[in-house]
Amino acid sequence: MTQNKNKVVIFLGPPGAGKGTQAERLAAEQDLVKISTGDILRDHVARGTELGQTVQPILTAGQLVPDDILIALIRDKLAGMEQVRVIFDGFPRTQAQAQALDLLLEELGAPVTAVPLLEVPDEALVGRIVERGRQAAARGEAVRSDDTEEVARKRQQVYREQTQPLIEHYEGRGHLYRVDGVGTMDEVYSRILNGMR
């Protein structure tokens, strides 16, 4: 049964492309565990853990948390999983993280299954992020400290410099496919599913 098979999906795409939303739905429908490194880090910040205190200023500046911290987090998450059925949202973000993940997955005998790349034009991305912040505020929810226009721009720049090169990493292995990220949530979701088979 497919439910009992390893499956490793990595969502790639710039901040604001909608990775989190799409990954959430795919995880629910395909019985996968969503591993969102941004959520994990923000949870540490909210709880005021030692890690949270270390990473808080980095998140607020829109920069990347050091690779060794992220790699240790992911190693912990995957440790002891009998079946590796996961979606990565926000990891890997650097070449070093991608290489570490390749090794970890090899050890677990669970190779990458699919890497959807969500594509959204640059002009739309910052607007989406700022709008998300506004809506959260309107609902009385906490607004991410990095969802301001200035930090959102910084995050795009960091993405272009450090994460975009991973497209080649996964393209070379034949796992990557491009998904038009402009449209309704349902439209984008169908494109993701279509690309997977």
Interface ranges with ligand ADP (CB under 6 A): 15-16, 37-38, 41, 58-59, 62-65, 70, 90-91, 93, 97, 146, 155
**7 annotated as belonging to a binding site for a ligand:** no
**178 annotated as belonging to a binding site for a ligand:** no
Q: How many CA atoms lie within 13 A of 131 on its CB side?
A: 8
Burial pattern 159-195, b for ≥16 Cβ within 10 A else e, equals beebbeebeebbeeeebbbbbebeeeeeebbebbeee
d(C-alpha 148, C-alpha 129), whole Å:
8
Q: Starting from the edge strand earliest in sequence, which strands make up the sheet with 7-11, in order? A: 7-11, 85-89, 33-36
Q: Find the shortest distance in angstroms from Cβ 1 to ligand ADP.
A: 32
Q: Find the shortest distance in angstroms from Cβ 34 to ligand ADP.
A: 12
Q: Which two tokens stand for residue 32?
A: 């996968």
| Cβ–Cβ under 8 Å, residues 104 and 75 | yes
For the chain, the C-alpha Rg in angstroms (whole number) is 16
Q: Find the shortest distance in angstroms from Cβ 130 to ligand ADP.
A: 12
Q: Which is it for the CA torsion 20, 138, 154, 125, positive or negative?
A: positive
Q: Find the shortest distance in angstroms from Cβ 62 to ligand ADP.
A: 5
Q: Find the shortest distance in angstroms from Cβ 56 to ligand ADP.
A: 10
If the CB atoms of residues 68 and 187 are measured against ligand ADP, the closer one turns out to be 68
If the CB atoms of residues 59 and 176 are measured against ligand ADP, the closer one turns out to be 59
**153 annotated as belonging to a binding site for a ligand:** no
d(C-alpha 85, C-alpha 64), whole Å:
26
Residue nearest to ligand ADP (CB): 38
Residues of the binding site:
16-21, 37, 42, 63-65, 90-93, 97, 132, 144, 155, 183
Residues of the binding site for AMP:
37, 42, 63-65, 90-93, 97, 144, 155
Residues of the binding site for ATP:
16-21, 132, 183
